[in-house]
Amino acid sequence: MTPLATSAILLRRRDYGDYDLIVTFFTQSQGKVTLMAKAAKKSARRFAGVLELFSEVDIIATSGRRSGLPVLQEAALKHPFAQIRVLPTRIAYASYWSELVDVWMEDRVTQTELYRLLLHVLRELDQGVTSEAVLSVLFQMRLLRISGHSPNLKLCGICRKAVDAVRPNVLGVDVAKGGIACLGCLPPSPDGPHLSKGTIKQLQWIADGDLPRATRIRFSPVAISEALRFLESFVPYHLGRQPRSLGVLRQLRGSLP
């Protein structure tokens, strides 16, 4: 294997023995890659302060011996995003997004648009200007589109009536069927997610087009609560696994308005 040289976001790290780390990167050029970082724990100088979660680094890796993992040779910080790691809710959101990416991506499949998206929300989270919840809605709606799981938000998935023609203004969500359903077809459930028409429009706007502009879309507290409740059940269902980090995120955030 020719050496891998690319920018990459650190998604996951775990100990390997007393000295080494196994690190999973989302690389710009080759998608998800898991590497051995030798002596990363033992030596203060080797990768010191570089292998922090959610940071973007320039890495060089070479193939390991026989069938072992490729070995991380060099890593230089590009964007530390250090302000993410100072607040528990920021860590929780970044962990949730990283876990979704890790769950969905296959090894060594390039995902340029998703890379740009994750980098964008991490940068915004680090700067602390845009609300964490809006970033999470943006990230999840676009991840659904990129992964081919965009929800149907245009018509009732059962009777096919268009959203504009549905009364009242609130629709239910049929997660397994992949989208919304009118309350005539899907009786309201107190625990299940539901979406009002205004929130549905905002979800459609935020899923497409220019990233900086979509980031500035304003949500009312009710809309953001509906959107998060909907996405945090829809996304794990369609990506096929309940992320462990979602429980932590919900605990830290407390109840939605």
C-beta of 71 vs 183, nearer to Zn ion: 183
Assign 3-state DSSP to the chain and report helix, strand, coil percentages, each to 5.
Answer: 40, 25, 40
Q: Is 182 in the site for Zn ion (CB under 5 A)?
A: yes
Q: Is 105 in the site for Zn ion (CB under 5 A)?
A: no
Contact 208, 145 (CB under 8 A): yes
- Identify the helix (H) or strand (E) that includes residue 21: strand 20-27
From 19-27, 75-83, 112-120, 179-187, give the range in contact with Zn ion by CB under 5 A: 179-187
Q: Is 158 in the site for Zn ion (CB under 5 A)?
A: yes
From 84-92, 122-130, 157-165, 235-243, give the range in contact with Zn ion by CB under 5 A: 157-165
Q: Is 156 in the site for Zn ion (CB under 5 A)?
A: yes
Q: Which of 88, 79, 93, 143 is nearest to 117 (CA)?
A: 143
Choice from 185, 217, 248, 252 touching Zn ion (CB under 5 A): 185
CA distance 172 to 166: 11
What sign does the CA torsion over 125, 53, 241, 252 have? negative
Q: Is 183 in the site for Zn ion (CB under 5 A)?
A: no
The nearest distance, CB 196 to Zn ion, in angstroms, is: 16
Token pair 């230089």 is found at: 76
From 48-56, 131-139, 154-162, 205-213, give the range in contact with Zn ion by CB under 5 A: 154-162
Return residues touching Zn ion (CB under 5 A): 156, 158-159, 182, 185
